[in-house]
């Protein structure tokens, strides 16, 4: 069986970023924790799926995605200063949530959900970066297709009811950016996306 629309696909891979000898291992999907997704349902980057289309169980792959094919160039305008009181819950700041380097689900004035990483915290202001963690990076994938089967009706239904792909990543966080408004609030209930792999839960080829 080949990878095609509505197939439940399982892959393992190493993801390295950078060029030449400067490449850095960013993420690894293993047999114990593979990437699992339903092909052709817009849960993965189109360019990522294009590279897997037609492959079968046991086939290996090796390809790279440019920023244009993945998460775009790094955009300085997506680094935003927010009032610190945005993060208050019942008038208090939770230090276990608000700390440099943490990634938080946020909501803009239009109701779009997006993920932001805390860059710095001052007395009155929190600086957050809403670029995808892999913005501006060349992504190198090497891996193996370890499973291809028909997706069940229940699995497809779960996907479209908010189940997400097996490796996480919010579409709004990666695509919506923060150019649509300057008003944000902390979304306490998370972003609703499934996740199991690294770098701030945005990983792999997820859309």
Query: What pLDDT score does 162 carry?
Result: 57
- Tell me which of 21 and 182 has the higher pLDDT: 21
Query: What pLDDT score does 120 carry?
Result: 95
3 state DSSP class of 51: helix
Per-residue burial over 62-90, b if 16 or more Cβ lie within 10 Å, else e, is eebbebebbbbeebeebbbebeeeebeee
Averaged pLDDT for residues 100-117: 87
CA distance between the termini of the chain: 24
Q: Is the pLDDT of residue 185 over 80?
A: no
Residues near 107 by beta carbon (within 8 Å), at least 6 away in sequence: 113, 114, 184, 185, 186, 187
What percent of the chain lies above the pLDDT cut of 90? 56
Averaged pLDDT for residues 164-180: 34
Task: Decide: pTM greater than 0.75.
Answer: no
Domains defined along the chain, listed by start: 7-72+134-169 (3.10.50.40)
Residue 39 pLDDT level (bands cut at 50, 70, 90): very high
What percent of the chain lies above the pLDDT cut of 70? 77
Averaged pLDDT for residues 135-144: 96
Query: What pLDDT score does 191 carry?
Result: 31
Q: Is the pLDDT of residue 189 over 80?
A: no
Q: Is the pLDDT of residue 127 over 60?
A: yes
Residues near 49 by beta carbon (within 8 Å), at least 6 away in sequence: 39, 40, 205
């Amino acid at each position: 069986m080949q990878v095609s629309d509505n197939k439940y696909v399982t892959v393992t891979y190493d993801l390295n970023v950078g060029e030449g000898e400067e490449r850095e291992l960013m993420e690894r999907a293993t047999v114990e924790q593979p990437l699992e997704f339903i092909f052709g349902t817009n849960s993965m980057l189109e360019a990522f799926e294009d590279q897997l289309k037609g492959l079968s169980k046991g086939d290996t792959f090796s390809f790279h995605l440019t920023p244009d094919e993945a998460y775009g160039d790094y955009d300085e305008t997506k680094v935003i200063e927010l009032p610190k009181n945005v993060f208050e819950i019942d008038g208090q700041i939770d230090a276990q949530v608000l700390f440099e380097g943490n990634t938080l689900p946020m909501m803009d004035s239009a109701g779009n959900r997006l993920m932001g990483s805390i860059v710095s915290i001052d007395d009155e202001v929190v600086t957050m970066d809403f670029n995808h963690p892999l913005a501006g990076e060349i992504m190198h994938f090497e891996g193996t297709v370890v499973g291809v089967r028909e997706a069940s009706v229940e699995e497809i239904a779960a996907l479209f009811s908010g189940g997400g792909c097996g490796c996480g990543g919010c579409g709004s966080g990666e695509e919506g950016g923060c150019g649509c408004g300057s008003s944000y609030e902390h979304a306490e209930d998370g972003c609703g996306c499934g996740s199991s792999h690294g770098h701030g839960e945005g990983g792999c080829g997820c859309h």
